[in-house]
Amino acid sequence: MNPAAASVRGWRLTVAVLLASLLAGLAASDAQAGTWTAQVNVVPASIIYGHSCASATVCVQVTVGGRVQYTSNGGTNWTLSGQTLAGAIYGLSCPSVTICFAVAGDGRTYKSINSGSTWTTVHDDNSRFLSEIDCPSTSVCYTATSTGVFRKTTNGGTNWSDGADQTSGDVRGIDCPSTTVCYAVTTAGEILKKQSATDTWDVMASAASIADVYAEPSHPITCPSLTVCYVAATTGVIYKSSDGGGTWPAQTTGTAPDTYAIACITTSRCLSVGVANKSQFTDDGGGLWTEENTGSAAAMYVVDFPTMTTAFSGDAIGDPYKYTAPPGCSSGSLSMTAPLGAVTFPSISLGGPLTSTANGALTVNDQSASQAGWSLSATSTTFTSGGNTLPTTATTITGVTATPQGGACVAPANTMTYPITLPAAPIAPTAAKFYSTPDDTGTGPVDLAPAFSLVVPANARAGTYTSTWTVTIASGP
């Protein structure tokens, strides 16, 4: 606890406050670079066009020639399937650690129920070129053709149906943040969205709105939430929508190399890959992209980010790679690393009512990786001086200024409206929330400066008034 008081000497009154801040904890981590590690492949040299990781340890990769390798220990060992999938494989999705689906250029859809070891043909789409697949659950999958036809199954691949609306574009990416909401991108830069239980695909961005999506079977779209999506394009540009596909402002990765695939574990933590030996990482929602070398002399067309600290890819000669992400804002817990200190209101002359103002200071650091946002609440005891008191409504919080520190990832977005009365009673009552930041904001260290206002009534007696304030932090807005 830190002393705070209000004192009135003769005709002057000074107020200070005794504060208790709960849940002080870990300090911020310094930013570190991620690292790529080459793993030993077991497939013949060929381009890996299909890749999916259901967990940090279970991944499956398939080459365009239909050779499959899979791992159950995070890539320490890869095993070669004895089966070769026909038809040139261009897409792969594993919605669980055991179930995977793959699509081929000759229209076939394959399914594995044993983590990629063996496969069966579950559908033949009449020689349509299937360019992509995404399965948000083990029963629901969406595929797309190079001529813009969308297909869907709701029973694990037994039956498939065409979508109600089609596009003439060459679809090269599908990502479904839920079983009913999906986004797709064509090589011409058209963005489509399926946003209901029906199979209607609406055009959200016309052709060329997203420029230069790579024409090879890449995986250039990722949607970590229902409203946030990223699209990787050539010349190092990545586009992001934060409004459910309504707008797609361009982000610059800071590099010129083409990007062919992108994956996000949260709406702010993403990794893209592309031309040989180049990848880009962001931990702040795309405000800053850091270029990192993959160590591969070949291009990468696939990437998956199954956990906050681990991602996987495969290159154009069949080699698997593992990426260990920097700690960023995911190395600890949610905490007040610098609790609210003493707040002293300036002395004021009696004869009011009069108002005195003061500022406080505290630091919050969200390293929890929950992306759940957080909130601050406060309560207090009545200001007292001997037998004299100030009203329980005397103190209000008039605003809070937030200043992210240098190591912050995503700035907080306060949703509170001021002023807010600080609760007070002889025994501190239920706390009132005075700062709230929503999902996917407020990660990393941020300095907060709450502003306080104290109203002293005209009949207040001179003295030194003290109160105890308790400030608590909680996960969630």
- C-alpha to C-alpha distance for 99 and 96, rounded to whole angstroms: 5
**With a cut of 50, which residues of the chain have pLDDT below it?**
1-31
Sign of the dihedral through C-alpha 328, 332, 338, 339: positive
pLDDT at 24: 27
- C-alpha to C-alpha distance for 107 and 323, rounded to whole angstroms: 32
What is the residue-averaged pLDDT of the chain? 85
Contact 365, 27 (CB under 8 A): yes
Task: Tell me the pLDDT tens digit for each residue of 243-273.
Answer: 999 999 888 755 667 889 999 988 888 999 9
Cα→Cα distances 83→73, 86, 271, 446, Å: 21, 9, 31, 53
Angle at the Cα of 272 from the Cα atoms of 270 and 276, rounded to 5 degrees: 155
Task: Tell me the pLDDT tens digit for each residue of 387-412.
Answer: 899 999 999 999 999 988 865 577 88
Contact 25, 335 (CB under 8 A): yes
- C-alpha to C-alpha distance for 305 and 279, rounded to whole angstroms: 13
- Greatest CA separation for the chain: 94
Which uninterrupted H or E stretch holds 88? none
pLDDT at 430: 95
pLDDT at 175: 96
Contacts of 406 (CB under 8 A, 6+ apart): none
pLDDT at 21: 35
- C-alpha to C-alpha distance for 264 and 271, rounded to whole angstroms: 6
pLDDT at 50: 93
Q: Retrieve residue 411's tokens.
A: 């700035």
- C-alpha to C-alpha distance for 136 and 146, rounded to whole angstroms: 21
> What's this model's pTM, rounded to 2 decimal places?
0.73
pLDDT at 172: 84
- C-alpha to C-alpha distance for 307 and 294, rounded to whole angstroms: 19
Can you give the length of the chain in residues?
477
